[in-house]
Amino acid sequence: SKKIMADHGVTVQRFFVADSANDALEAAQRLKAKEIVLKAQILAGGRGKGIFNSGLKGGVHLTKDPKTVEQLAKQMIGYNLSTKQTPKDGVTVKKVMVAEALDISRETYFAILMDRACNGPVMVGSPQGGVDIEEVAVTSPELIFKEEIDIFEGVKDRQALQMAKNLGFQGALQQQAADQIKKLYNLFLKIDATQVEVNPFGETPEGQVVCFDAKINFDDNAEFRQKEIFAMDDKSENEPIENEAAKYDLKYIGLDGNIACFVNGAGLAMATCDIISLNGGKPANFLDLGGGVKEAQVYQAFKLLTADPKVEAILVNIFGGIVNCAIIANGITKACQELELKVPLVVRLEGTNVQEAQRILSESGLPITSANDLEDAAKKAVASVARK
């Protein structure tokens, strides 16, 4: 995110990324900085308070000595870092950021994000930065400032200046902060972001406004025109099954239950997971087929689900709006026959071409349990596991 910001004229610290202790040492020497900050690079927050399985405490360290950077990097690279946002065993650190450390005289929070309630982007800011913004929202809601942005007109000068004022910037720093805010909005549009969150958005004793850290989310639908950005996607921290699912345009998230969910649409997938839980079961995953489903995708989805040893039953819950239920039914029968399905299968289909789909399933001769609605499907899936 620092590189993307720097490319768009936003002020960030000077930095290098290293994937070995030797590279980290060289980077520290090249910076010629009074003080250096070393940060473990993983896709999770809470790194400063994290713990490595090498025994090192903290994924963020400050030092004035390049040699110390090398020693610290040796205890970071190749080791797992556990934070409040990682799995229990942590995530392997493969890279570290070596950056010029700047003193921060004041920390604020600034973000631009897409807000459904406003039908467009909003700016959110707080003079209380460098801390958990959710906590600020609960303890001091009056310190959260929100400003809607007209998608056609962009951030107006007065809006940017007002936000800078709300964040507590004074004198010449107010205009500097407003300029940074406008640059961040231009970046937000240009890279098809859904969120640009800068925390801390700080000022230095030398009178400079700097974006010290940022989290950026991108619109998946913009992949076709943001090739460079999406090429940066580091999938090494994903579960292998999630990467396999992505090859077939399937969204897969592993959970710790035993009833596999096979659904089209994220909202329906969440509702299916909830109703399984309400009926005393536990979902094994969240698998979203999306809208433009092909028969081959259905087959691949079943292949993924049946490869998971935790799965003791499969619940198919399809609402055919864009999706043709007959395509799903053909995919199910093909998958059941070729993969020799060994676990109970409960199917609830509704919508486009549903009668044809039900005929395909009933004439297949396969042991498929049909359900009338979502509640019925969940009860039958939970019961099939209980019987086992």
The reply to whether 48 sits in an annotated binding site is yes
The reply to whether 154 sits in an annotated binding site is no
The reply to whether 213 sits in an annotated binding site is yes
Catalytic site residue from 70, 107, 147, 197: 197
The reply to whether 321 sits in an annotated binding site is yes
Got the DSSP string for 319-333? EESSS-HHHHHHHHH
The reply to whether 324 sits in an annotated binding site is no
Is 109 an active-site residue? Answer: yes
* HEC sequence for 100-158: ECCCCCEEEEEEEEEEHHHCEEEEEEECCCCCCHHHHHHHCHHHCEEEECECCCECCHH
Got the DSSP string for 51-104? EETTS-B-SEEEES-HHHHHHHHHHHTTSEEE-TTS-TT-EE---EEEEE----
The reply to whether 47 sits in an annotated binding site is yes
Catalytic site residue from 70, 109, 147, 185: 109
Residue 157 near residue 178 (C-beta atoms within 8 A): yes
Measured distance CA(281)–CA(269) in Å, rounded: 15
CB burial class (10 A; 0-12, 13-18, 19+) of residue 377? buried
The reply to whether 267 sits in an annotated binding site is no
Is 185 an active-site residue? Answer: no
Measured distance CA(58)–CA(40) in Å, rounded: 9
The reply to whether 264 sits in an annotated binding site is yes
Residues annotated in a binding site: 13, 46-48, 102, 199, 213, 264, 321-323
Annotated binding site for Mg(2+): 199, 213
List binding-site positions for substrate: 264, 321-323
Tell me which residues are annotated as active site. Answer: 109, 197
Residue set of the binding site for GTP = 13, 46-48, 102
